[in-house]
A and B are shown apart, each in its own frame.
Chain A
């Protein structure tokens, strides 16, 4: 699987979790790609933590406006029905539980739903930005990431080794191999992605996975 096809299969599956009328925050990277696969007939309003509800498409060349950017500092547009607000209000929206789904990337996730995605000890720390608020406050947190790191090691662990972004905040993990859900019993394998078997997922995962056969394949 190429990196691009992995990213697309993750984003495609994540977008199937959206429902009509949801307010959603998408992190930088694969999470952002999910906006391209929002199901037909499903209107989702995208939140940008710098102070915009209702992110539109990227602008046409020549129509960029320096005063209109997303949280990744990219030029954007707005949709009809959008609104602007200040940083404190933006995070009242987040912390107050008004965001239905946050989709975010991760360096490590563990089977208790702990998330690490902001610092590696000994390396320059760039900052957590809004990640800690988003995972602490959103109604549901979906992790969108590749199953393994560049070295092939599992990013889904029994216990995170890196400093945490949030404790017991993750609901669902979507990778190019599988969909997993954090349950009170542990991390359950919900679906395998097309082209993968349960056995392959188990071999690529360091965390203990609860498997209830038969494990369905993700719908395309």
Chain B
């Protein structure tokens, strides 16, 4: 088995109107090579499911600036000013989900669960139009699963079967996104032969992954560089 592919072959899976799941938190652990290739390809009317929407000039920000995105399904879009302008003008639709609800909707999508009940958002604008139910005296909201046509994830290392390991908080949404799309592409910093990753350390088993690509260039932009001389612990 060899799932090592090319970025061109990955792009062939994307069409106008595709729904794409993307890992990342802010611009940490984003599939930056796949995003740049997608910008070059120019596919339009995309729905992107991602916790955040990138920043100006990086990550999903590139696709937004290139007018490729029709809808964002996210939990926080505050860092992207160009997106703000497009939302105000009505050029992009944004569906805001509580972060845990977003993660669980995708998890459910990958786990064969069509919907679930959560206490998050009860009595808030998030609950509007949604079914609620009482379990053991507490009210819960019904939230439905999310799936994508394609998922783009970023891992640290892969083997040629598609087993993935991650690095620190660059893991974030990537393992969940990797479970919930019809075609899953993982871009990584290093590809090794099957057997060279310790099976005990695998975070995403190869069964979820359809294609592995070695990223050509990693900028790994830091959004907020904070150093120790500042008062307060790093929280």
Contact = CB atoms under 8 A, between A and B. Distances in A.
Contacts of A86: 103, 171-176, 203
Contact of B124 (A48, A57, A164): A164
Given A75-B224, A88-B107, A133-B98, A58 B168 contact: no
Contact of A88 (B79, B104, B120, B166): B104
A32 B107 CA distance: 29
Interface string B139-177: 000000000000000001000000000111111111110
Interface residues of A, number: 61
Nearest to A71: B25
A169 to B, nearest CB: 9
Given A35-B233, A130-B98, A124 B88 contact: yes
Given A95-B119, A133-B100, A84 B171 contact: yes
Nearest to A133: B100
Contacts of B175: 86, 88
Given A46-B233, A88-B176, A58 B74 contact: no
Contact of A87 (B103, B126, B223, B232): B103
Contacts of B100: 49, 87, 90-91, 94-95, 130, 132-133, 137
Nearest to A95: B100
A162 B129 CA distance: 19
Q: How large is the interface on B (under 10, 10 to 19, 20 to 34, 35 or more residues)?
A: 35 or more
Interface string A92-132: 00110000000000000000001000010000111111111
A35 B232 CA distance: 6
Given A50-B169, A85-B171, A167-B123, A127 B228 contact: no
Contacts of B230: 58
A119 B227 CA distance: 31
A26 B233 CA distance: 11
A208 B103 CA distance: 39
Given A33-B231, A132-B100, 18 more contacts: A32-B233, A58-B228, A67-B169, A69-B169, A70-B234, A72-B224, A74-B234, A76-B235, A84-B169, A86-B176, A86-B203, A87-B100, A126-B78, A128-B75, A128-B99, A129-B99, A133-B98, A136-B121
Top 3 A-B pairs ranked by shortest CB distance? A91-B100, A126-B78, A133-B100
12 contacts: A48-B235, A58-B232, A66-B220, A69-B25, A88-B176, A94-B100, A95-B120, A128-B98, A128-B99, A129-B75, A130-B99, A132-B124
